[in-house]
Chain A
Amino acid sequence: GEDVEQSLFLSVREGDSSVINCTYTDSSSTYLYWYKQEPGAGLQLLTYIFSNMDMKQDQRLTVLLNKKDKHLSLRIADTQTGDSAIYFCAESPNTNAGKSTFGDGTTLTVKP
């Protein structure tokens, strides 16, 4: 079945850039997402990218997709303490956009 993998932890200093990486196995993945989850809260969709795109930028967030290597990354510029959270990478196939497979999440800790 589909598999999505992420590194579990990332620690950066405030003001630095954070890069969270994700790999997936499903070749039919069409939608790739990044979600943020703060402690005790639900999921917040940060951004998404379609598989026919290489890059998407949205304010401090930059998503890079290497479809050949099935590698997705999320870069957060000027990371702030409020960015500390768990970040989930997820993928969905074209045939069922809502049926997402999630990675295990990367816990981002931003130190002042």
Chain B
Amino acid sequence: GAVVSQHPSRVICKSGTSVKIECRSLDFQATTMFWYRQFPKQSLMLMATSNEGSKATYEQGVEKDKFLINHASLTLSTLTVTSAHPEDSSFYICSAVDIYSGNTIYFGEGSWLTVV
């Protein structure tokens, strides 16, 4: 079946550096992908909607200059956490909608980011 893959699954970076997380739809094209953030023992909060070929739409309170989203192709969206701080440590999950299979939503496996 359709799969959404995220990479890396775990990453540790130093404060002040940037880290990129990739979200790929492996066997379907996704014009729209979504990025969520999940703090430990909490729910998923939508950060932004990633639109292929155009700017991402950010949810209220999400800093677009800090969380850069690029959806350069129909199968790849990237989230770059810039100038990372320890409070950015979280679980980041992406999802993609397969519009050709009844709008089925597929989630990636998630990426654990630890900023030290």
Contacts and interface: CB of A to CB of B under 8 A. Distances in A.
Interface of A: 31, 33, 35, 40-45, 88, 92, 96-105
Given A41-B109, A45-B106, A45-B107, A97 B43 contact: no
| B-side interface mostly | strand
B89 interface: no
Contact of B109 (A31, A35, A42, A92): A42
A43 B93 contact: yes
A100 B43 contact: no
Interface size range on B against A: 20 to 34
A105 B43 contact: yes
Interface in B94-113: 95-97, 103, 105-110, 112
Contacts of A45: 105-107
Interface in B73-107: 93, 95-97, 103, 105-107
